[in-house]
A and B are shown apart, each in its own frame.
Chain A
Amino acid sequence: DAGITQSPRHKVTETGTPVTLRCHQTENHRYMYWYRQDPGHGLRLIHYSYGVKDTDKGEVSDGYSVSRSKTEDFLLTLESATSSQTSVYFCAISESEDYGAGELFFGEGSRLTVL
């Protein structure tokens, strides 16, 4: 058990409202990731982090921001949600401490619906 918790697990919101998804890990691993998954697109990387306050963009970062002020928490924020951001969001961690990341362990996902 990699000890990953995502919250909220389900959220319905309206266009233009801010939304924050939280990923919490219990074991202080260095690498954390946010992906979104949509039919026909597989998993797409939004942002990832390789340490406190160290983050980088992924493939689909427009419209999203992240913060990592503590090792255990990685927050994904949609400043002004749009219907195109309706998706299932997965957080993942890597237990590798070497350069680069190894096997990913995923949270259970957060289903976001933007009306």
Chain B
Amino acid sequence: GQNIDQPTEMTATEGAIVQINCTYQTSGFNGLFWYQQHAGEAPTFLSYNVLDGLEEKGRFSSFLSRSKGYSYLLLKELQMKDSASYLCAVSGSSASKIIFGSGTRLSIRP
């Protein structure tokens, strides 16, 4: 089976940096995804990691350690529009089967 854990809620300040962690336990591994979901909307893709290390994309970066079953999403220079849920998802031994964690609701305060 697969198990994906991430914090339920986080709060951060506009302009600051926040790190959202995700730990996973899967039988096999074919990649880890991060998605952003604003309230009432569909999720949208942020990043994909298949090898260990850091992937940077503008203000967002994602890190993966396969040996530790651990990833984080780093958001820099936070803006009010970053208030959303952030979903960690894993592709396990069946690569086309993509399972999501429960998501982290991030609130940004001025």
| Cβ–Cβ contact A101 & B95, under 8 A | yes
Which residues on the A side are within 8 Å of B17 (C-beta)? none
Given the contacts A100-B30, A103-B45, A108-B42, A50 and B102 also touching, CB distance less than 8 Å: no
| Cβ–Cβ contact A45 & B48, under 8 A | no
Chain B residues engaging chain A, CB cutoff 8 angstroms: 30-31, 33, 35, 42-45, 48, 87, 89, 91, 94-103
| 8 further A-B pairs in the complex, CB-CB below 8 A; given A45-B97, A104-B33 | A41-B102, A58-B99, A99-B96, A100-B91, A102-B48, A104-B98, A108-B42, A109-B42
If over half of B's interface residues share one DSSP class (helix, strand or loop), that class is named, otherwise mixed; here it is: strand
Given the contacts A100-B96, A102-B48, A105-B45, A42 and B33 also touching, CB distance less than 8 Å: no
Provide the bound-state CA to CA distance between A41 and B99, in Å: 12
Given the contacts A100-B30, A103-B33, A103-B48, A90 and B99 also touching, CB distance less than 8 Å: no
| Cβ–Cβ contact A107 & B42, under 8 A | yes
Provide the bound-state CA to CA distance between A101 and B100, in Å: 14
What are 14 sample pairs from A and B whose C-beta atoms fall under 8 A apart? Answer: A33-B98, A41-B102, A45-B97, A50-B96, A58-B97, A94-B96, A101-B91, A101-B98, A102-B31, A103-B33, A104-B89, A104-B98, A106-B44, A108-B42
Provide the bound-state CA to CA distance between A94 and B31, in Å: 14
Asked whether A1 is an interface residue with its Cβ less than 8 Å from the other chain, the reply is no
Asked whether A48 is an interface residue with its Cβ less than 8 Å from the other chain, the reply is yes
Interface residues of A in 83-115 (CB under 8 A from B): 90, 94, 99-109
Asked whether A22 is an interface residue with its Cβ less than 8 Å from the other chain, the reply is no
